[in-house]
Structure 1
């Protein structure tokens, strides 16, 4: 549990971030890790709290509290504090396939439920996790460990995002022969092309993929199931198929002028930048550029923030981020007590950079697009915005955001990035396998299960639960692998 009195003796200390105006000069990760000794001191703050909500991963009022992977956080914090790095890695790896990913991109649900955070600063669990996994690679503890015994079962995993990789990793450990099909040119799915380099440098993904290859997992890229690879082929050649294709149908904004040139979905914008960066260091010009443009990002979530940070690195002229809902409070409200997820204002790296460069927060609350305005050539030149206010719907009794009469105004804009979330799986994949979808256009299964209506076809991740976090995708992949293993073998030890 760390040092019994550590949380009273030591203050929380996080890794230092490079200053915004300096870090926007490149697309590199920008935090300088603490020394190993300082990281051990941070682990000492993990208190003997009796009930470690940090690892609970339970749902409270529709939102997760604590780690969905049920990571054994107090255990590996204690091992880290005592300098037993290898055993700390062993305990971490017991529940988490990819701590190198979650320690970089997870919003740290564990820390939001940390008992220390009830009356002070939470334990730096996310950074402790990163220190452990990086030490494991440095010392060779995370080196390939191929299974000693193989079964004769063959599994195809469609999609190489976090859920697909987790399925593959688990089933390969079990001894099955796993092949992962990825429609893009590189492995990683959302991790590769949906998350910018500043949050997750792509050599981190490549490092883990090389380990998985050495352990026996086969990866096939440029394989778009339902397009250039037939679903029938997979059903004939494999004992089981797991669909982990994500929730990749972006939610659109329906407003007059939507057909203007200069309006893109966030995922296409981010992917184009990352692909060009990997292919040529952005020298090929094959990306959607924000350079010299007035940019509006529609959506206040993590993806919207990534669009802000990327646009600033391109050299945009100005940046505005629209959020339909009211501005969150700075501190928890009485109706949002610990250990619930805190519904409070968070200023992320992209917004920090916008404040540093342009002198103001890019977020504009209770506002949406009324009209996209085109010039004579069909190019976007302005956007008409309208203010919103919460009003109770007379029929349903629910609070809805409604337009404020007479509040419209226009702003110059040459590039709009839509980061309004996703609506479910792309239908051509589900149609290719004949799997049923639910009312939310996610693949339908029995509650808590992963088997579809088609024999030997399973699903996992965002394709199954809808748009969510990387950590939930990994949990889904682990649980789906267990169900697949039991289907194939009649029992499971996963």
Structure 2
């Protein structure tokens, strides 16, 4: 524990938000990071509990609490405070495949379970995590981890969302030959087309995908298994097939007025607008505009 009184000495400080009238000029993320000095103070707020509920994903009264990845949160919070960012990054990457994604869009079960939040404000765990991984990229510490030994096993992963990418990453680390199939034109699944840019800019997905390609993972886009590619073809060509198809089929409502114009499924709305933004900066007319509408 770097600073036993850190949670008393320092108030919780989140990444600042760009003013609304400025942020609406584009679709970019709008929470610039704290500087290193302030981030280290946020690491000092960790109490290093005897039982770190933040990293212990457990079921309590039918609900889950804590990090599902069992990230070693008190360890790297302490190292952030001490300024040992490289060691902190190594401990983070031991359990987390994609901290640059979870550090942006994870719901933060760790912070809900933080003991410091029982009678005050929880530690900024998610933002500390994001600061670590971006530090790693900026300082060229995140490099391709190419397996030294390859097996003769070929594995197909259907779906390139967070579960598909994580599955491919772990199987590739073990030396298997992994091919990821994505039915749309870009890799990332829900992260690419279901999460708006202001929460997750897409260059961060492309950055990780390019890294995985260097590590030996193959990605095939516009591959709709069962339609453009027969499912049997995968079963015949691979030793194993992992289905990471996500949950993009919507659940409809049978309410009066459901057949009115201007009602969209959420993922359809997000996908159309994000794809139009990425393809043409919304000039192709394929987005679903809510301008001037009551939403």
Q: Decide: shared fold, TM above 0.5.
A: yes
Deviation at 1:169, TM superposition (A): 0.1
2:269 is matched with: 269
SS in structure 1 of the partner of residue 79 of structure 2: helix
- 3-state DSSP class of the match of 1:156? strand
CA distance in 2, matches of 1:90, 1:233: 39
Partner of residue 167, structure 2? 167
Return 16-25 or 230-239, whichever deviates more: 16-25
Q: CA RMSD in A?
A: 1.0
**Alignment partner, residue 154 of structure 1:** 154
1:138 aligns with 2:138: yes
Which residue of the partner structure matches residue 27 of structure 1? 27
Tell me the SS of whatever aligns to 1:64. strand
2-structure distance, mates of 1:144, 1:185: 24
The answer to which of 44-53 and 185-194 deviates more is 44-53
Equivalent residues in 2 for 1:441-452, closer than 5 Å? none
Q: CA deviation at 1:61?
A: 2.1
CA distance in structure 2 between the partners assigned to 1:2 and 1:195 by the alignment: 36
Match of 2:235 in 1: 235
Give the aligned partner of residue 48 of structure 1: 48
CA distance in 1, matches of 2:51, 2:262: 52
Q: Tell me by how many angstroms 1:132 deviates.
A: 0.2
Tell me which residue corresponds to 1:92.
92
Q: How does 1:68-217 map to 2 (within 5 A)?
A: 68-217=68-217
The CA distance in 2 between the partners of 1:197 and 1:64, in whole Å, is: 28
Taking the TM superposition and a 5 Å limit, the aligned residue runs for 1:294-333 are: 294-295=294-295
Superposed CA deviations along residues 429-481 of structure 1, whole A, max 9, x for unmatched, are xxxxxxxxxxxxxxxxxxxxxxxxxxxxxxxxxxxxxxxxxxxxxxxxxxxxx
What is the CA-CA distance between 1:93 and the residue it aligns to? Answer: 0.6
Offset of residue 2 of structure 1: 3.3
Contact 1:2 1:45 survives alignment (8 Å): no
TM-aligned CA deviation for residue 25 of structure 1: 2.3
CA distance in 1, matches of 2:215, 2:224: 24
By how many angstroms is 1:283 displaced?
Answer: 1.3
Question: Distance between the aligned counterparts of 1:26 and 1:103, measured in 2?
Answer: 22
> What is the CA distance between 1:27 and its match in structure 2?
0.7
Counterpart residue number, 1:318: none
Structure 1 position 237, deviation (Å): 0.5
2:38 is the counterpart of 1:57: no
Report SS of the residue matched to 1:94: helix
Contact 1:54/1:66 (<8 A) preserved: yes
- Residues 196-231 of structure 1 deviation map (CA, whole Å, 9 limit, x = unaligned): 001000001000000000000000000000000011
State the distance in 2 between where 1:42 and 1:101 align.
Answer: 20
Shift of 1:62: 2.4
TM-score by length of 1: 0.59
CA distance in 2, matches of 1:84, 1:174: 29
Offset at 1:161? 0.4
1:283 lines up with 2:290 in the alignment: no
Matched residue of 1:59: which SS? strand
Corresponding position of 1:404: none
- Normalising by structure 2, report the TM-score: 0.98
Distance 2:193 2:84 in 1: 36
Structure with greater strand percent: 1
| Offset of residue 20 of structure 1 | 2.2
Corresponding residue for 2:14?
Answer: 14
1:99-125: CA deviations, max 9, x gaps?
A: 000000011110111111111111111
* Mean CA deviation greater in 247-256 or 171-180: 247-256
Alignment match, 1:248: 248
Contact 1:2 1:74 in 2 (8 A): no
Residue ranges of structure 2 left out of the alignment (5+ in a row): none
For residues 351-390 of structure 1, what are the structure 2 equivalents within 5 Å?
A: none
| 8 Å contact from structure 1 (residues 160, 181) kept in 2 | yes
Whose helix proportion is higher, 1 or 2? Answer: 2
Unaligned 5+ residue runs, structure 1? Answer: 296-494
**Relative to structure 2, which stretch is displaced further, 226-235 or 254-263?**
254-263
SS where residue 16 of structure 1 aligns? coil
SS in 2 for 1:188: coil
Checking the alignment, whether the CA contact within 8 Å between 1:2 and 1:47 is kept in structure 2 is no
State the structure with more CA Rg.
1
The number of residue pairs the alignment matches comes to: 295
CA deviations on 1:3-50 (whole Å, 9 max, x unpaired) are 111111111111100122321221100001100111011101111321
> Structure 2 CA distance, aligned partners of 1:22 and 1:59?
42
How far is 1:261 from its partner?
Answer: 2.7
How many Å separate the matches in 2 of 1:83 and 1:251?
48
Query: For the Cα contact (< 8 Å) 1:104–1:199, is it kept in 2?
Result: yes
